[in-house]
């Protein structure tokens, strides 16, 4: 910095107020995981089915946009990764093939989605599969394998904030 500007510099100290990471109902008492409305999953959830994952991705997207407060909160980051796990299981060939749009307020950069789609692990099994085409069904071996891996990731990741019982409701 040139010396002639030194007298014009003023240090700025940023402070951040501590605010709740999730909007909480003033009448509600309990753990933060009780505010996670997309968990537990319905008893009908089947990790092998595209429709189960698409419904979950939609529900998480709604939660992220309606309830998560700070874009930099741990819960927001956690739920964003949950969203991308569900979204990628619903559309295993993403970013190729056919997939639905998501709300652009849900970031893809520096998330699970970026890691999954840009590394040799992740969805390269789908890309390299001869059997797979853009319109495959729930019986496509490559999609089943991808969804199984994403289910394992999702269950591990969900347990970081959701501690209120089983991940899938009992029938």
% of the chain residues with pLDDT over 70: 68
* pLDDT(16) > 60: no
Residue 55 host element (H or E): helix 50-66
**CA 95 to CA 101: how far, in whole Å?**
11
* Three-state secondary structure call for residue 68: strand
**CA 158 to CA 151: how far, in whole Å?**
10
Least confident piece of the model among 28-32, 39-43, 45-49, 164-168: 28-32
* pLDDT(84) > 90: yes
Q: Return the exposure string of 35-64: e unless at least 16 CB atoms fall within 10 Å of the residue's CB, then b.
A: bbebbbbeeebbbebbebbbbbbbbbbebb
Q: Which residues contact 9 (CB under 8 A, 6 or more apart)?
A: 1
Average pLDDT, the chain: 78
**CA 125 to CA 171: how far, in whole Å?**
33
* pLDDT(17) > 50: no
**pLDDT greater at residue 47 or residue 70:** 47
**pLDDT average, residue stretch 60-69:** 86
Domain ranges of the chain: 46-158
**pLDDT greater at residue 117 or residue 155:** 155
Query: Which pair of tokens denotes residue 22?
Result: 């999730």
**pLDDT average, residue stretch 106-130:** 74
- Give the residue carrying structure tokens 């014009």: 8
């Amino acid at each position: 910095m040139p010396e002639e500007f030194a007298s014009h510099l003023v240090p700025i100290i940023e402070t951040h107020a501590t605010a709740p990471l999730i909007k909480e109902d003033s009448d509600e008492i309990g753990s933060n995981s009780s505010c996670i409305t997309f968990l537990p999953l319905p008893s009908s959830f089947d990790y092998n089915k595209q429709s189960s994952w698409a419904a979950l991705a939609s529900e998480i997207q709604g939660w992220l946009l309606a309830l998560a407060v700070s874009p930099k909160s741990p819960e927001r980051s956690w739920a964003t990764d949950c969203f991308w796990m569900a979204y990628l299981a619903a559309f295993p060939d993403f970013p190729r093939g056919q997939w639905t749009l998501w709300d652009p307020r849900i970031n893809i950069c520096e998330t699970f989605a970026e890691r999954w789609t840009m590394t040799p692990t992740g969805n390269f099994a789908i890309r390299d599969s001869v059997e797979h085409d853009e319109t495959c069904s729930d019986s496509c071996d490559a999609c089943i394998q991808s969804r199984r891996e994403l289910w394992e990731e999702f269950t591990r990741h969900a347990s970081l904030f959701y501690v209120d019982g089983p991940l899938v409701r009992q029938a």
